[in-house]
Amino acid sequence: DAGVTQSPTHLIKTRGQHVTLRCSPISGHKSVSWYQQVLGQGPQFIFQYYEKEERGRGNFPDRFSARQFPNYSSELNVNALLLGDSALYLCASSLAQGAPWNSPLHFGNGTRLTVT
Amino acid sequence: AQKITQTQPGMFVQEKEAVTLDCTYDTSDPSYGLFWYKQPSSGEMIFLIYQGSYDQQNATEGRYSLNFQKARKSANLVISASQLGDSAMYFCAMRVGASGGSYIPTFGRGTSLIVHP
């Protein structure tokens, strides 16, 4: 079975531009979440979606938005890019059945975004 | 609020030796899960091991074991017989079962493990 897939792998953008990152969860997983990981830190939660509904939002500005599609894939959009948005963006999926708190997150390989 | 603390920025271990990576957590929720992830330099986060707050026994997965001390709120990862391929960043994470919550995970800052030949 395929794991979580993210695209693109790397991306270079200029300040002020917009970017869309994509994620396909493991087959059967209905929950997708997004994380930003800057160098030297752990992942920071951005969004969680379950059954196409937003279930959580981290402390990120409104320039960050996301959505989940009927096939459970997801997009993360960032508008008006800043230099500080340069980071590894990770997508994770989980079964989210029963007690989700005991469901491990399965991560993709991430998208490395560089804003110049 | 939930918090994960990893106090060891870097650890060194000799190949074939065992190493313990520390993790302490803080939550008031009785239902929670603790996870360890490995992140090689390539970037992917690899799930290693899980421990639930209601589990009576410490979790084990191959060379990985979790030393769960609930009263001390610690969940240390033990890697036995270290291999060169174990060199990576290791993150401790927690998800809590808050009622109506979105089970948002909290990650520590990570520990960099270097295995020497």
Model pLDDT, residue A99: 54
Measure the CA–CA gap between B69 and B51, rounded to whole angstroms.
11
- Residues in chain B with CB shorter than 8 Å from the CB of A21 are none
Measure the CA–CA gap between A81 and A85, rounded to whole angstroms.
6
Give B13-31 pLDDT, tens digit per residue. 999 999 999 999 999 888 8
The torsion angles phi and psi of B27, rounded to 5 degrees, stand at -160, 150
Model pLDDT, residue A98: 47
Peptide bond just before A8 cis, omega within 30 deg: yes
Residue among A33, A24, A88 at smallest CA distance from A56? A33
Minimum Cα–Cα distance from B38: chain A residue? A107
**Averaged confidence pLDDT in chain A:** 91
| Range scoring the smallest mean pLDDT among B22-36, B68-82, B91-105 | B91-105
Q: Is B68 on the interface with A (CB under 8 A)?
A: no
* pLDDT level of residue A23 (50, 70, 90 thresholds): very high
The torsion angles phi and psi of A85, rounded to 5 degrees, stand at -80, -5
Residue among A34, A22, A10 at smallest CA distance from A94? A34
Give A55-91 pLDDT, tens digit per residue. 889 999 999 999 999 999 999 999 999 999 999 999 9
